[in-house]
Amino acid sequence: MRKILLVLITVAFAVWGMTACKPGLLPTEDAGKPKVTLERVDLMRLGPWVEIPAPTFMGLGFVFNVDNPSGYPIKLENLKFAVLFEGAPDVYMTLSTATVYDNIYFAPKTVSQYRVVEFLDSGGVWRALMIPNRPKVEELKLDPMECTKKWFTTIGSGDFPFGIKATEGMAVFSSEGAKGDFFVPFEGKFPKK
């Protein structure tokens, strides 16, 4: 009897878990909910290139448009996204995760801009290519050192010679005009080709 009860409880939890879970969140188009889109990426700071293991620093400013279509102000609680660089045509490598915990209010029925500055260093980028991106790097037969050097030496040319993505993004908003938090997924690519 106990085995049957245990099996029934296990099956009930399994069915509940499968029906309660949602698939991966995609950028939202829900009416009345905030929307976050990538406007552009600015090169904020770039140090002179020095060979690894000495670090070269790069600061990127991700400028997002935050659209608040509701009739009440919303507060940004936190925002995070993965930073990806294009290693080969239409193949992107994850290099870091930007996370901010600013408490900023956005006025109702407006589109405002919000900048997140993410600093990368050449050693961290090289290690990201060597460890988590290793299967992609080997498949494309890329040299992690040369790829890192190319990104750090060509981005300062004034034109972005490779694509940059902000993916797996999630912004958490709250408001006194609505119950609960708004979880807003987003992603974007720059330059927009």
In DSSP terms, 147 is beta-bridged to none
The class level of CATH for 28-190 reads mainly beta
**pLDDT value, residue 25:** 45
- Give the H/E segment covering residue 134: helix 134-140
Structure tokens given for 115: 């900048």
Lowest mean pLDDT among 30-34, 71-75, 109-113, 147-151: 30-34
Query: What is the structure's pLDDT at 22?
Result: 43
| Mean confidence (pLDDT) of the chain | 87
Other Cβ atoms less than 10 A from the Cβ of 20: the count is 7
Lowest pLDDT segment from 16-20, 49-53, 108-112, 155-159 = 16-20
Q: In Å, what is the CA distance from 14 to each residue of 5, 22, 24, 186?
A: 14, 14, 19, 30
> pLDDT at position 152, please?
93
In the three-class reduction of DSSP (H, G, I as helix; E, B as strand; rest coil), residue 117 is classed as: strand
% residues pLDDT > 90 (the chain): 70
Element (H, E) at 190: strand 181-190
Query: Are 174 and 147 within 8 A, CB to CB?
Result: no
State the pLDDT confidence band at 18, using cuts at 50, 70 and 90: low
Instruction: Give the CA radius of gyration of the chain.
Output: 21
Lowest mean pLDDT segment, chosen from 11-15, 35-39, 69-73, 91-95: 11-15
* Mean pLDDT within 6-25: 57
Of 121-125, 156-160, 172-176, minimum mean pLDDT range: 156-160
Whole-number pLDDT of residue 128? 95
Q: How far apart are CA 127 and CA 177, in angstroms?
A: 45
Q: What is the band of 81 on the pLDDT scale with cuts at 50, 70, 90?
A: very high
Token pair 């188009």 is at which residue? Answer: 29
Between 20 and 142, residue with greater pLDDT: 142
Q: Is the pLDDT of residue 61 over 90?
A: yes
**What's the predicted TM-score (pTM) here?**
0.81
User: What are the boundaries of each domain within the chain?
Assistant: 28-190
Examine residue 191 and say whether the peptide bond preceding it is cis (omega within 30 degrees of 0).
Answer: yes
